[in-house]
């Protein structure tokens, strides 16, 4: 008699591009059924699903404002209805307006707070309420919380909040066999990082790493895949995935 196993299921927020896309395809390659979340990039999310299904995986899309608890609840309802449960939440969705502190528009600060902090709470609450034993919540921060580069004050403040709750959430999951970790990428070749930067500046940033390059989305996806799968003894940790910049 052949033993059947229930496929593990993941939601990847911000899965329509950049690091989120790499994470979604990597988890699908590991056999997870993946819901690819998007906010406004439906065409890009559809492309991710096409890529996954062409490789023999299972995936679909859902739209939601990550800071809207009603829309997020509907997205989690959808993943349970389609795939029968939930095991992994990878929260990569976020925004990064940059500005010197003294020139920062408070409306931009409010937008960053809403998406990056409130969104992390909304997605995390819904995910942890529904997640099966053996599950993993993986949030994203940034290595800039340690690098302390100028112009990133509002963004770093929002990601510092994400880091601050990581161990606390892991401890609150005591007895449920659920891990909570945060991955903090360094400079990575995505539009979020490269847009508005000259090639000369990108090359200068790349030279700071002992690896003499900036990260690739796949580099970050490998770390996430480990935390989502075999890395069960890593819990409550901030993992700075940056090639040795710090």
**Which two three-digit tokens encode residue 165?**
């709750």
Judged by phi (left if over 0) then psi (alpha if -120 to 50, else beta), residue 161 lies in: alpha
In the structure encoding, which two tokens stand for residue 158, read together?
């929002």
Report the C-alpha gap between 24 and 74 in whole angstroms.
20
Secondary structure of residue 235 in the 3-state scheme: coil
Q: Taking the alpha carbons of 212, 218, 224, 230 in that order, is the dihedral positive or negative?
A: negative
> Any idea which residues carry the catalytic annotation?
155
Burial class (CB in 10 A: 0-12, 13-18, 19+), 125: middle
């Amino acid at each position: 008699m052949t033993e059947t196993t229930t496929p593990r299921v993941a939601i990847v927020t911000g899965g329509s591009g950049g690091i989120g896309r790499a994470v979604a395809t990597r988890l699908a390659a590991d056999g997870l059924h993946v819901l690819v979340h998007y906010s406004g990039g439906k065409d890009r999310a559809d492309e991710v699903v096409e890529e996954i299904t062409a490789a023999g995986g299972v995936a679909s899309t859902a739209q939601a404002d990550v800071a809207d608890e009603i829309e997020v609840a509907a997205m989690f309802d959808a993943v349970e209805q389609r795939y029968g449960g939930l095991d992994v939440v990878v929260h990569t969705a976020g925004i990064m307006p940059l500005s010197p502190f003294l020139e920062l528009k408070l409306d931009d600060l409010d937008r960053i707070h809403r998406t990056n902090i409130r969104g992390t709470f909304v997605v995390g609450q819904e995910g942890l309420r529904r997640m099966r034993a053996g599950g993993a919540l993986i949030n994203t921060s940034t290595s800039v919380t340690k690098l302390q580069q100028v112009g990133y004050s509002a963004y770093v403040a929002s990601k510092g909040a994400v880091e601050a709750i990581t161990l606390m959430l892991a401890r609150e999951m005591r007895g449920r066999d659920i891990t909570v970790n945060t991955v903090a990428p360094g400079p990575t070749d995505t539009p979020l990082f490269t847009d508005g930067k000259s090639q000369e500046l990108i090359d200068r940033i790349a030279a700071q790493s002992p690896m003499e390059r900036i990260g690739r989305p796949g580099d970050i996806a490998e770390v996430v895949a480990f935390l989502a799968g075999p890395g069960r003894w890593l819990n409550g940790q901030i993992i700075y995935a940056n090639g040795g910049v710090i």
